[in-house]
Chains A and B, each alone.
Chain A
Amino acid sequence: MGKIWAIAGRELRSYFVSPLAYVVGALFLLVSGYLFSLILFGSREASMRGLFENLAVVFLLITPALTMRLLAEERARGTVELLLTAPVRDRDIVIGKYLAVCLYLLFLLGLTLIYPAILAWVGKPDWMPILSGYLGIFLLGASFMAVGLLASSWTSNQVIAAISTFAISLIIWLLPASSSVVGQQFGSVLEYVSVLSHQQNLGRGIIDTTDLVFYGSFIVVCLFLSIRSVEVYRWR
């Protein structure tokens, strides 16, 4: 565990000493702030359901930027050799790096707490759905991050990693739209696999164990495959 935290800490520090964390943070706040005001003025509803549904698109855009370098950079610089020969296990590397992006995700979500504060200022929001909505949006973001990590483990080219992340996330995003094409049975499977549909329940204030199981499994599978991919690199 200590090694995982050490790797996570190193990674996180590298975010915050470079402009990356701040620029991504500022852009994230810009887009989500714009969405928040627009939805608030339009719906005149003291809830965050609309924002949570739309934040997914923001994650789709910023995830590649955050995850592309995670493993690809190490590979390109050759520092992955250092990591691989150091007395840490492959999964420590993968989990440590993933932990770092998740912590950064929490940081981003922490910034958005000004929105519920504004809602409390102008009205009386229903707090529990907002809380579950945050859980949902965190799990959604964490799923995108896991995809990004996986894509980054395949290549030493950061651009390829970023574009693969974007493409995979986009396809997963669009899966429910194709469900009507492929027939009811298979369509419901596609709808289930979409990371978006599971966030809808949480966004409106329903905690369903199905959604939690899905997100847990999705992230575990991505991490597992990333570990495998790092191992494959070691053999060669």
Chain B
Amino acid sequence: MSTQTPNQDAKNKALDRAITVIGVLAILLLAGALAASYVPTVPFAVIQGVRYAGFACIALFVIGSIVQNKDFLADVAKNRTTQNGTKSLVTTVAILVIIGVLNWFGTRIHHRIDLTSNQQFSLSEQSKKIAKGLKQELKLTAFIRAGDPQGRQLKDLMAEYGYQTDKLKLEMIDPDREPGKAKLFFQSHPTASQRFNVLIIDNGTKLTEAQNVSEQDVTAAILKATQTETMSVYFLQGHGEADIDGFQQDGLSQAKQALEKQNYKVQKLSLFETKNVVPDDASVLVVAGPQKPLMPQELAALDAFVKRGGKLYAMLTAGADSGLEGLLAKYGITPQKDLVVDPRANLFGDAAAPVVQTYPSHVVTQGLRPTIYPAARSLDMAEKAPTGVTLTSLVESSDMSFGKRNLQDRSAEFNPSVDKKGPLKLAVAAVLDASASTKPTRILAVGNAQFAGNGYYTGAGNGDFFLNGVNWLAEQDNLVSIPPKTNEPKTLFLTGQQQSTIFLATVAGAPAAMLFAGGLVWWRRRRS
């Protein structure tokens, strides 16, 4: 050690004190940021600012400490003081432990920057908020084959969630490699879907599933898994409606199952038994294609239900009068007595089963695959919606389609004098504002019920459309509103010429140039 002048001594002491103050400040700032993150009124930017200040103080503290103790550290590194093995071992172990602790902290306190131009690897604010707000631990299980890109996508995604919360525990099982593990899981979770690339979330009491590993679906499933109250969806019975327990083509057993996987309680409702009152706990009432008209008292019950804020999912059938027509007309939706025929966009040449591929913009149909509507009637949407009602067309048939008015006529020919020219509306959403006598609510009308039946539920986008519809009605549409990441089209189109140029330049040109440079050096050295 060099001798120090009193002046230097005083300076050192001042520096020591400063370092201590900065260290304490760092701890206070970080603790403050942590505490503030539990207070919902503190804006996130403020927390972030405090956190950064804390990190800056830590950095200053570390740099200051190193500068202040550089002589000592140099001694340790050089082992000047201890020229003996055991002591050297002790310092080695000490250094390793310090590095270990540093890395342990490094995994817990850290910051990430996403440099991709479209923030491809960052969660939406909504997902972050939901992840940060998690109070209980959730066990996530996914069955993914090794090497499946979905596995990587899920891992990337879970890593992002992992930076927001430590409450999510993911386990990926490859049933081909770990059949025992998979078997054990299904023994303890008998209701779980035995399918690949489905994320199963266990909150300790019930299971929730995300049907694929996109951020949108996973966040929705996480949110559902944490909801304590279960929403009830009622299906009206007694007028020839589709049966929720029916396994036949037009049965709704698959729709029921999907709803239950999203944590809805699914029940049948017979208004005759409830003395014409829709139960109070009904979040959504589905009327799935009645074949005969509802009684006036029943319609009055439905009307009262809508007026007190109940959500109605009305699915109609072509050629059947349901009695709902009048109720819907009050809100600007007029079902037509026709059959939607589409000679071009249809299912395997069946002109009466139009296929819809593009949709007007709405959360329900966002990113939806093509949907099929077998034997549908069209809905008219009032030009000027009644006061307090906002109407949105969700599904429209193509320009080539038309509404066939004469249902006895079996031909698929357009008759301009009778039929109505397309595009025709197949589904309309209505948002009702509160008025003096009514509460705000939502109605979804579809000119078809078969689309949700088992025969069409999977394969096309029909199942997603049905589920999105129920979620939207139940005001769970925040779940479907996370916009999917748009991967900028960076795909290259290389001509054959370009390909061979690139290949020659990289595989032959560059290495050859390198060898040539080496040869040149060797030759010049030999000459000199």
Contact = CB atoms under 8 A, between A and B. Distances in A.
A131 interface: yes
A231 B519 CA distance: 39
B514 A91 contact: no
Interface string A109-137: 00100110010001111101101100000
Contact of A111 (B110, B499, B514): B514
Interface in A16-52: 16-17, 19, 21-23, 25-27, 29-30, 32-34, 36-37, 40-41, 44-47
A22 B515 contact: yes
A118 B521 contact: no
A220 B494 contact: no
B121 A210 contact: no
B491 interface: yes
A47 B490 contact: yes
Contacts of A74: none
Given A17-B525, A45-B490, A114-B506, A217 B114 contact: no
Chief secondary structure at chain A's binding surface: helix
Nearest to B518: A22
A182 interface: no
Interface string B336-369: 0000000000000000000000000000000000
Contacts of B499: 37, 41
B230 interface: no
Contacts of B95: 221, 224
Nearest to B156: A204
Contacts of A23: 515, 518
A210 B115 contact: no
Contact of A41 (B490, B494, B514): B494
Interface in A52-105: 89-91
B505 interface: yes
B527 interface: no
A25 B516 CA distance: 11
B116 interface: yes
Nearest to B109: A209
Nearest to A184: B171
Nearest to B119: A205
Nearest to B163: A208
Interface string B496-512: 00110011011100111
B111 interface: yes
Nearest to B91: A228
Contact of B517 (A22, A27, A118, A205): A22
Contacts of B99: 217, 220-221
B502 A37 contact: yes
B517 A46 contact: no
A231 B490 contact: no
B511 A206 contact: no
Given A111-B514, A118-B506, A209 B490 contact: no
A225 interface: yes
B459 interface: no
Given A45-B492, A213-B103, A231 B518 contact: no
A84 B467 CA distance: 76
Contact of A192 (B77, B107, B507): B107
A198 B102 CA distance: 16
Interface in B451-505: 488, 490-494, 498-499, 502-503, 505
Contacts of B107: 192, 210
Contacts of A221: 95-96, 99
A210 B106 contact: yes
A235 B79 CA distance: 12
Contacts of B121: 204-206
Contact of A26 (B111, B112, B493, B515): B515
Nearest to A235: B83
Interface in B82-121: 83, 85, 88, 92, 95-96, 99, 102-103, 106-107, 110-117, 120-121
Contact of A208 (B85, B111, B506, B515): B111
A36 B106 CA distance: 33
Nearest to B178: A180
Contact of B521 (A17, A131, A227): A17
A105 B249 CA distance: 66
Nearest to A225: B92
A34 B507 contact: yes
A206 B518 contact: no
Contacts of A225: 92
B141 to A, nearest CB: 13
Given A125-B490, A209-B110, A91 B518 contact: no
A33 B518 contact: no
8 closest A-B pairs by CB: A22-B518, A33-B506, A213-B106, A128-B115, A26-B514, A26-B511, A205-B115, A205-B116
Given A207-B112, A217-B106, 5 more contacts: A22-B514, A37-B499, A125-B490, A224-B77, A228-B92
13 contacts: A40-B502, A89-B78, A118-B502, A122-B502, A125-B490, A128-B117, A192-B103, A201-B112, A206-B116, A208-B112, A209-B106, A209-B110, A231-B78
Interface of A: 16-17, 19, 21-23, 25-27, 29-30, 32-34, 36-37, 40-41, 44-47, 89-91, 111, 114-115, 118, 122-126, 128-129, 131-132, 184, 192, 201, 204-210, 213-214, 217, 220-221, 224-225, 227-228, 231-232, 235
